[in-house]
Chains A and B, each alone.
Chain A
Amino acid sequence: MKKNILIIGGGPAGMEAAANLDRLGYNVILIEKDKQLGGHLAKWDRLFPDGVSAKKTLDALTAELSGVKCFTETNIQSINVLDKSYNAILSNGITVLADAVLMASGFDLFKAEKKEEYGYGIYDGVMTNADLEKAFREKTLPSKAPKAIGFVHCVGSRDEKAGNPACSKVCCATAVKQACEIKEVYPDADVYCFYMDLRMFGRHYEDLYLKAQKEYGIRFIRGRVSEVAETMDNRLLVKAEDTLSSKPLKVTLDMLVLMAGMRPSEAGRSVGRQLNLTTEDDGFFSSSDNMLAIQKSKLPGFFYAGACTGAKTLPDTLHEARSAALEIDRYVKDNFKEQ
């Protein structure tokens, strides 16, 4: 008899793990709280560093899921540990008896309105990274070209007051990517990136940075934006310190994009609370070993993949999903030999 594997979260991590477990011969049940699979990837337009289409990437992931039972718009209503398995009741009324569970709940974007001083939800010109991607996808950017545009890195990341002292890892590269893209749409606009440290750590990321400087003329300002006010003509007055020249700086912008960081998924955490899964100070789940067994939880048969254990890039997430599939395969083979 095929063993049941329950995967919580139908983003890239859940999808990739599901496809691999399916190929390994398991009966995979994938649940997703949204209408469609893909998580944040489904809401994105293009991906750094090369600008590949998010839709194409998502389609490729979806193509592998033919043998997987996917339930969208479905939550975990309750879950508990049985002797050697997990009993989950889903919001669609189905009960799943799973021999192993993979948590791939990913992240929520930081609620930018919590950084009240940036004026998200108060001023029209202030938007988040996700809003901008949406506008790119749906081509709803204003036709009246803005004169000046700013990107604020680290919104709700590296910020103890916002409850997230950690770096969200992907925002620097995303901001540089988006800055280039917006410059393509509005070639005459001045584009500024306000950063604290520019963390371009991955392959080709540095190329992206160089391209932003050389080809797009993006101006990088090392300083965190502290305040946004409105001018008489409804433009945005942004204040920061140019820490490199050691001078307070102000600039008037028409559009300000806030790079909202990654927070642990609330839906994932509520499942975690039912099973008493531990989280670290940052709110993300704690692995049984951060070096050797990042996919393992403290519960036997319960695994993690992707951003539910901390901020990750898309390739990182996919690697982790594959290795989680292997870990699950090994766990099932070790624990259910006799059958």
Chain B
Amino acid sequence: MIDFGFTVSPSSRINLDEVDKKSFVALSKIEPDVVKCMACGSCSASCTVSQFQPTSVRKAILSLQNGQISQAMDFLKHCMLCGKCTMVCPRGINTRHLIISIQKIYGK
């Protein structure tokens, strides 16, 4: 490797043109509620796990829409499916099923 005296880091900008939308469409077929989020943050605020690890359904949905799959998975991998987020979601999103569905579709 030749040292040019600088490195090229990948752009931190979200590029929506490059987002693979197919999986998201597949996801919204199994759990249509995925498109209902209005980003109020109730889920992350009440989350039993979020005191230990960054966990958030809201952020996972956002990351998926932005094509940041591994980041999305990181936001859910600590989840214990306790269902508090379902109880507090003002849009009535079935978050437990959404979480399992995301993990099934993107987790491979």
B-contacting residues of A (Cβ < 8 Å)? 117, 154, 158-162, 196-197, 222-227, 239-243, 246, 248-249
Residues from chain B with Cβ under 8 Å of A246 in the complex: 54, 56, 59
Partner among B45, B47, B56, B92 whose Cβ is within 8 Å of the Cβ of A224: B45
- B56 touching A225 by the CB < 8 A rule? no
Could you mark each residue 76-93 of chain B with 1 if its beta carbon is under 8 Å from any beta carbon of chain A, else 0?
Answer: 000000000001111110
13 pairs, A vs B, C-beta closer than 8 Å: A117-B46, A158-B38, A161-B92, A162-B90, A197-B38, A223-B41, A226-B45, A239-B45, A240-B45, A241-B56, A246-B56, A246-B59, A248-B45
Q: Do B92 and A241 touch (CB < 8 A)?
A: no
Asked whether B50 is an interface residue with its Cβ less than 8 Å from the other chain, the reply is yes
> How far, in angstroms, from A308 to B40 measured CA to CA in the complex?
28
A248 touches B40 (CB 8 A): no
- Residue pairs across A and B with CB atoms within 8 Å: the count is 63
- Chain B interface (Cβ < 8 Å from any Cβ of A): 38-47, 50-51, 54, 56, 58-59, 87-92
User: For residue B42, which residues in chain A have a CB less than 8 angstroms away from its CB?
Assistant: 224, 226, 241
Which chain A positions have C-beta within 8 A of B59?
246
Other-chain residue from B43, B58, B90 in contact with A154 (beta carbon distance below 8 A): B90
* A246–B91 alpha-carbon span in the complex (Å): 19
Chain B interface secondary structure, helix, strand, loop or mixed? loop
Pick from A162, A223, A239, A249: contact of B40, CB below 8 A.
A223
A117 contacts across to B, CB distance below 8 A: 46, 88
How far is B54's CA from A249's CA once the two chains are assembled, in angstroms?
12
A174 and B91 CA atoms in complex are apart in Å by: 23
* A243→B41 contact, CB < 8 A: yes
Q: Beyond the given A161-B90, A248-B47, could you list 18 further A-B residue pairs with CB under 8 A, ordered by the A residue number? A: A117-B46, A158-B90, A161-B87, A196-B90, A197-B38, A223-B41, A223-B45, A224-B42, A224-B90, A226-B41, A226-B42, A226-B43, A227-B45, A241-B56, A242-B41, A246-B54, A248-B50, A248-B51
Q: Are A225 and B45 interface neighbours, CB within 8 A? A: yes
A243–B51 contact, CB under 8 A? Answer: no
- How many whole Å from B3's CB to the nearest CB in chain A? 36
Contact across chains for A241 and B90 when beta carbons are under 8 A apart: no
A243 touches B39 (CB 8 A): yes
In the complex, are the beta carbons of B46 and A239 less than 8 A apart? yes
Question: What residues of chain B lie closer than 8 Å to A158, measured between beta carbons?
Answer: 38, 90
A161 near B41 (CB under 8 angstroms)?
Answer: no
- A196 contacts B38, C-beta separation under 8 Å: yes
Q: How far is the CA of A248 from the CA of B54 in the complex (A)?
A: 8
Nearest-CB residue, chain B, relative to A156: B90
**B90 CB contacts on chain A under 8 angstroms:** 154, 158-162, 196, 224
Chain B residues in 8 Å Cβ range of A225: 45
B42, B47, B58, B91, most chain A CB atoms within 10 A? B42
The one of B39, B56, B89 that contacts A161, using a Cβ cutoff of 8 Å: B89
Closest residue on chain A to residue B75 by CB atoms: A246
> Are A243 and B47 interface neighbours, CB within 8 A?
no
CA distance A240 to B44 in the complex (A): 8
Cβ contacts under 8 Å, A248 to chain B: 44-45, 47, 50-51
Identify the interface centre among B50, B89, B90: most chain A CB within 10 Å of its CB.
B90
- Of A154, A159, A162, A224, the contact of B41 (CB 8 Å cutoff): A224
